[in-house]
Amino acid sequence: MRYLWHVATLALSATALATSLADVCTISYVRGVLPANGTFLGITLNPDSVMASPVYNKSIQANAFFPATTVDYCGVTLNYSHSGLNDNVQLTYWLPDPADFQNRFLTTGGEAYNINEGSMILAGGVMYGAAAGLTDGGWGSASFDEVFLVANGTVNWQNTYMFAHQAIHELTIIGRQFSRLFYNRTEETKIYNYYQGCSEGGREGWSQAQRFGDDYDGIIAGSPAFRYAQQQVNHLFSAVVEQTLDYYPPPCELDRIVNATIEACDPLDGLTDGVISRSDLCKLHFDPTTLVGTPYACAASSSSGIGLGYGKRQSATLNPAQNGTVTAEAVAVAQTILKGLQDSDGRQGYIPYQPGADFNDAQTVYNEETGSWTLNLGSSNSEFVQKFVRLVDEEQLSSLDNVTYDTLITWMQTAWIRYEDSLQTNNPDLTTIRKAGGKILHFHGESDSSIPTGSSVHYYESVRQIMFPDSGIQDGAHQLDDFYRLFLVPGGAHCASNSKQPNAPMPNTNLAVMIDWVEKGNAPVTLNATVLSGVNEGKQQQLCAWPKRPLWRNTTGSQAMQCIYDDASYQSWVYSLDAYTLPLY
């Protein structure tokens, strides 16, 4: 009996394997395998909207999220609506050839105010035998900030909840079931559910881990834009520092400070490679006042002002050539920014960037008429306050008149309460995903200039203290290790490699690592990373798991990396955020 059953199974799977991509990648086949109406409460799929076409030999270069690959896939789009709402949400799926499908589904997220990263990112799932999907949230090619207000003063809460967590969850549950039917897998067949995203995509990953923990086997969340109220208002902090200290540094002067910081702090980790792998030692031991008097010079350049900041890019402006020597005022601006937002009583309101990160938020704007550098109130810095805090349907604040550090904290408080159950995304209770056996891989660049690296550390430490209140720092971390690991990426910029520290590694094999953890039980003790530029391009490196930190020591005649625990370093990452009455996780 058993033998016959086995033969029959083989015959069936042989039939399934014989199905080609062209056979299944048609509109009529896809319509025929859509989940039935009633499968998802409140959701109606629209069969008329289905588009499907096969794509062969699509090549994608190595990037921050996955290595170079060439994939064949079936590109499908499919719309749905919510009961009682006249809305239209479009899903995009890339489905691997039936012969390559490995019972995996990958949900992907977005960046800035975009709910997705564009379809190329889906190749990062297809290359591992996963059907992969993205959503437009229901607003087509518009971004969330464009559909957030119905009018001055009126929030579109449906769009807000969709962006916050609902759309990504719907993408996942529809996609997993659709994949099952598309590949003709039985209800008993396990379809592994993965998530991958960075920045806003990192926040979206956490929105799923915190609310829908039992729907995911593995969540990869990079540099998350969570603790949204504080994170977004914090983009204005650097400008308020400049206004308060009444010094508006030419961009070149701050750039010189960053370069000199990298140069001075690079060796503190034991390896002189142009990369600050220990920004904590930099914080503890490097004194930027030593830079006063250092000459700087930059050629004229067109500047987007903002680089990879969180928010929209600004139109390019021309920066004139700049030269001079670093002033005490510029160093004071840098030091105040790196202390982080504090209220007028010296209580901490938010977490700073690490030394060595660019000062993107502090970029000033050249005023040709006055020939001077002025405050930058561009949308990347101020849109959140104007739109999401003040509810004025405009992309930026018109001035910072009377805005103080206390004002920023008041705005953070207002947004925190308003978006606590939608965008805030800092619930530290991960009991559901832990119990369900899901895994979380969290990473963050240590030279991120858009989302402070310490924001990820603060969340990790909140989870540890809430879930394992009776354990110490290292023992609690050891318990978290079972399902949640945080890796800081030496020299890493915001979800990208760093042109200022080109030898820095990027963890761009995360989905392979996660699959290995989920499906084979091989937990990442250190995280696999690859150098994506510079002289060491292609070289593999390992990243230490928090709270351990890398240190290169000359033990066997050559510098070897060790992951060590160092309490002074650990303490340099800890902020009590005592400007608020409630605990801020």
The residues annotated as belonging to the active site are 199, 448, 494
Residue of 262, 277, 276 whose CA lies nearest to 548 = 277
Nearest 10 degrees: Cα torsion 400, 405, 410, 411: 50
Question: Is 196 one of the binding residues for ligand NAG (CB under 6 A)?
Answer: no
Nearest-angstrom CA–CA distance, 440 and 455:
17
Q: In what order do the strands lie in the sheet with 439-445?
A: 43-60, 69-82, 89-96, 130-135, 104-108, 192-198, 218-222, 439-445, 484-489
Segment interacting with ligand NAG (CB under 6 A) among 124-132, 161-169, 230-238, 291-299: 291-299
Which residues lie closer than 8 Å to 254 by C-beta, 6 or more apart?
330, 333, 334, 359, 362, 363
Q: What angle do CA 563, 569, 570 make, to 5 degrees?
A: 85
Name 559's bridge partners: 554
| Least distance CB 269 / Ca ion (angstroms) | 4
**Contact partner, 424, from Ca ion, ligand NAG, none, Cβ < 5-8 Å per class:** none
**Contact partner, 275, from Ca ion, ligand NAG, none, Cβ < 5-8 Å per class:** Ca ion
Q: What backbone torsions phi and psi does residue 132 show, to the nearest 5 degrees?
A: -130, 145
- Give the contact letters, 109-148, x = binds to ligand NAG (CB under 6 A), - = no: -------------------------------x--------
**Contact partner, 581, from Ca ion, ligand NAG, none, Cβ < 5-8 Å per class:** none
> Which member of 111, 170, 215, 266 binds Ca ion (CB under 5 A)?
266
Question: Is 81 one of the binding residues for ligand NAG (CB under 6 A)?
Answer: no
Task: Provide Rg for the chain, Cα atoms.
Answer: 25
Residue of 227, 247, 226 whose CA lies nearest to 238 = 247
**Contact partner, 79, from Ca ion, ligand NAG, none, Cβ < 5-8 Å per class:** ligand NAG
Q: What backbone torsions phi and psi does residue 412 show, to the nearest 5 degrees?
A: -60, -40
H-helix or E-strand spanning residue 132:
strand 130-135
Segment interacting with Ca ion (CB under 5 A) among 16-24, 263-271, 411-419, 465-473: 263-271
Strands 192-198 and 104-108: parallel
Segment interacting with Ca ion (CB under 5 A) among 89-97, 175-183, 250-258, 272-280: 272-280
Which of helix, strand or coil describes residue 152?
coil
Segment interacting with ligand NAG (CB under 6 A) among 58-66, 252-260, 408-416, 476-484: 252-260
- Minimum CB distance to ligand NAG smaller for 251 or for 547: 251
- Minimum CB distance to ligand NAG smaller for 13 or for 571: 13
Question: Is 221 one of the binding residues for Ca ion (CB under 5 A)?
Answer: no
- Give the contact letters, 49-68, x = binds to ligand NAG (CB under 6 A), - = no: x------xx-----------
Residues forming the site for Ca ion (CB under 5 A):
266, 269, 271, 273, 275
Residues forming the site for ligand NAG (CB under 6 A):
12, 34, 37, 44-49, 56-57, 79, 88, 90, 140, 152, 184, 186, 252, 255-256, 259, 296-298, 323, 392-393, 401-402, 500, 509, 512-513, 516, 528, 530, 540, 554, 557, 559
